[in-house]
Structure 1
């Protein structure tokens, strides 16, 4: 009787784990057809909507004035349109990857300088601190390691 009970429970356990397998990549929907957490299909937003949302977030977080908010919104709108233009251009021309990276870095530095001129020194310091914190959280989530090459001593210390 015990053997039959053990065999049935093992059979159920095996059956349960078989059905718990992940879907294969062929069964998944393409990224464009996926739905959000609330079950509604995600809609792509226009650059204006993205800029307004980013400006609103920063306004709530750093208690910005109305003038700062409008300047940020125009900055973010310009950033979104230029970035989308650069992405479209890079898709069209397959070759110039290092040049594209340099163009992105130059644009980012320009936007950071403009952002610094819009925010007060206290607000900008808080903004930088938040970005560093977010970057440290992203390092932990993405699976990328900050220092992928470890020495034997570091590995031994981590294992012990």
Structure 2
């Protein structure tokens, strides 16, 4: 009798642990449906709000005057509307990616020239230094990510 009780309890214990490890994924929607079609990075702000936020950030960082702030906000508003128009145009076009990049680089150079005319030479020099620092930081992150992926590939090759 004791053997039967022990065997039944052991059987229930094994059965309970196997069911405890089961994960149900049927209730969850696929990731693309949960976060939306655009990867969850949908920006619902208007160009005016974006321009105001950028202008306030730069004003605070570089201690701009009221006149500079107004000019900068107008520049950022122009930049946001043109960027939105270029993005909408490139989405509908299809395979003209290189031309779009060149157009965007030309616009970026134009906006940079306008920004240079708004800021004082000291402010512009600081802006350029900050921009270079941010670019090098971003390049460092990209390089680290690439090294990480290369390491995984090497482990896969060694493992097989």
Which of the five TM-score ranges fits, normalised by the shorter chain? Answer: 0.5 to 0.7
Change (3 A) 1:64 1:99: same
Q: CA RMSD in A?
A: 2.9
Match of 2:61 in 1: 61
Point out the structure with max Rg over C-alpha: 2
TM-score (norm 2): 0.66
Structure whose residues are more often helix by fraction: 2
Map residues 133-148 of structure 1 onto 2, 5 A cutoff.
133-142=133-142, 143-144=145-146
CA distance in 1, matches of 2:39, 2:102: 33
Match of 1:101 in 2: 101
Map residues 55-134 of structure 1 onto 2, 5 A cutoff.
55-134=55-134
Deviation at 1:95, TM superposition (A): 2.6
CA distance in 1, matches of 2:43, 2:92: 25
Deviation at 1:27, TM superposition (A): 3.9
Match of 1:30 in 2: 35
TM-score (norm 1): 0.66
